[in-house]
Amino acid sequence: MGGGPPTGHESGCGAPPPYPWGVSIPTLEQLHAIGAAQQPTYPDQAAVTKAVERLRTVPPLVFAGECDELKDKIAAVSRGEAFLLAGGDCAETFDGVTADNVRNKLRVLLQMAVVLTYAASVPVVKLGRLAGQYAKPRSSDLETRDGVTLPAYRGDAVNGFDFTPESRIPDPQRLVDVYNSSAATLNLVRAFVTGGYADLRQVHTWNNDFVRESPYAQRYELMAGEIERALTFMKAIGADPDEFHRVDFHSSHEALLLEYEHAMTRIDSRTQLPYNVSGHMVWIGERTRQLDGAHVEYFRHIRNPIGCKLGPTATPDEALALAARLNPENEPGRLTFITRFGAGKVRDGLPPLVEKVTAEGVQVAWVSDPMHGNTFEASTGYKTRRFDDVLDEIQGFFDVHRALGTVPGGMMVEMTGDDVTEIVGGGEEIDEHGLAHRYESVVDPRLNRVQSLELAFLVAEMLRARTT
């Protein structure tokens, strides 16, 4: 993203009918026949067909060429030449698509990236969990409150968060709303990225209206001062490269709902190959990575860079089999394994996977998701995580890779640009009672602005140790 307007000869232009060149991608019906986990049960099939038909005709949100660029960058990540920073909400919401919200999220990601780049002298590949992150897998189909049982909330892509029978009915019109909300989000992100807001000379501006008492905001301020002086020096000697003025930023989400993802798949007119044009990178979640399931079958046909979550139950053979199915040509940058073991399990659970995958010569980027293995319910009833556990899982991830001589390629975090109180600990020392102060997430707890910045400084130290 940030490479200027679409050139018109990329994927998706003049779309229907889908797949006119007979490129083999399974039909939606074939995928459903294989069996897909975590899909909603829609009461009105005609309405589903209508939404899917609509989505098949809409313009792409991203271009195949941009997906290829990201793939090349992830290949660099897997070689240890760059670090991947992925971040955003656990679940985006339609109400959350406001200018402030999107800007705040982008701003913290940019701040985190600059901290990682400056403190560790490593390029950072920036990936938003945004513009499509609206569908959630759930461990239970139902939710019970005060003796009332209703279908679980599955993300704004499926049903409403309100705990009423009407709101919890899956509504396929929401799939079209996902597209529109994603388009609005990406439009804003592209404007920020190309319109000067992401210019490195704004490094101070990103810190504006930050809680000044936060030692990390102060530390950032000092670093921004150093960067600014370096930029001024460069300018004085006549160097003002393009890279200072633009930033590369890409979008990603869990491709969970077959209807949406299939309808947003297009044949790229340059290569005649299928791409999911709803996000640059898409990933398979921990609950839908069955080797013989519909998600793996769908993912193996698209050409985007893709991710696959691996939790504590994943065996080395499973990881190998997934890699063989999802990346049979062993193309670097194509496949990222996003590991999410939990702080207590990563040091024992991760090495066998990395060892076997590496020994077989399989090309993958290893990325840590330090969030999903560390969730628990606080005494006050809130779903939360401890900042120290998040940090410890990342440290474990770095330790494992250092011991094996492999590359800890990046991290994917759930974070927001706002001052929410959803994760306990960190420099602000939010405790379990403090969670009630401003808990806004509709699914999983997110790092707030200060915690995100703090994490970036601490991970920068690990990254520096990686490269020395």
Footprint on this chain of ligand PEP (rule: CB under 6 A):
90, 137, 254, 285-287, 309, 340, 369, 372, 444
C-beta closer to Co ion: residue 76 or 90? 90
C-beta closer to ligand PEP: residue 69 or 286? 286
386 contacts which partner out of ligand PEP, Co ion, none, CB within 5 to 8 A by kind? none
C-beta closer to ligand PEP: residue 171 or 254? 254
In the structure encoding, which two tokens stand for residue 101, read together? 């919200």
Q: Which residue is nearest to ligand PEP (CB)?
A: 285
69 contacts which partner out of Co ion, ligand PEP, none, CB within 5 to 8 A by kind? none
Q: Name the segment binding Co ion (CB under 5 A); options: 37-45, 82-90, 206-214, 308-316.
A: 82-90
* Least separation in angstroms between CB 385 and ligand PEP: 12
* Least separation in angstroms between CB 260 and Co ion: 18
C-beta closer to Co ion: residue 60 or 87? 87
C-beta closer to ligand PEP: residue 86 or 391? 86
Q: What is the DSSP letter of 76?
A: H
Bridge pairing between strands 365-368 and 281-284: unpaired
Does 90 bind Co ion (CB under 5 A)? Our answer is: yes
C-beta closer to ligand PEP: residue 280 or 340? 340
**Cα dist. 409→15, 40, 395 in Å?**
36, 34, 13
C-beta closer to ligand PEP: residue 126 or 309? 309
Count residues binding Co ion (CB under 5 A).
2
Are 422 and 384 a contacting pair, CB within 8 Å? yes
* Least separation in angstroms between CB 21 and ligand PEP: 33
What's the rounded Cα separation, in Å, for the pair 468 and 459?
14
309 contacts which partner out of ligand PEP, Co ion, none, CB within 5 to 8 A by kind? ligand PEP
In the structure encoding, which two tokens stand for residue 274, read together? 């299928």
340 contacts which partner out of ligand PEP, Co ion, none, CB within 5 to 8 A by kind? ligand PEP
Q: Maximum CA pair distance of the chain?
A: 71
Does residue 128 sit in helix, strand or coil?
strand
Does 393 bind Co ion (CB under 5 A)? Our answer is: no
Position 272: which residue type? Q
* Least separation in angstroms between CB 454 and Co ion: 20
The CB density around residue 152, as the number of other CB atoms within 10 Å, is: 16
Positions 408 through 467 that interact with Co ion (CB under 5 A): 444
Token pair 């076997």 is found at: 356
Phi and psi torsions of 267, nearest 5°? -90, 125
286 contacts which partner out of Co ion, ligand PEP, none, CB within 5 to 8 A by kind? ligand PEP
Name the β-bridge partners of 338: 309, 367
Phi and psi torsions of 133, nearest 5°? -90, 65
C-beta closer to ligand PEP: residue 155 or 417? 155
Name the β-bridge partners of 430: 425
What's the rounded Cα separation, in Å, for the pair 326 and 340?
19
Does 286 bind Co ion (CB under 5 A)? Our answer is: no
* Least separation in angstroms between CB 297 and Co ion: 24
What's the rounded Cα separation, in Å, for the pair 250 and 69?
10
* Least separation in angstroms between CB 100 and ligand PEP: 23
Does 86 bind Co ion (CB under 5 A)? Our answer is: no
Does 407 bind Co ion (CB under 5 A)? Our answer is: no
User: What secondary structure does DSSP assign to 282-302, as a single string?
Assistant: EEE-TTS--TTSHHHHHHTT-
Phi and psi torsions of 376, nearest 5°? -150, 170
Contacts of 353 (CB under 8 A, 6+ apart): 310, 314, 316, 319, 337, 339
Site residues (vs Co ion, CB under 5 A): 90, 444
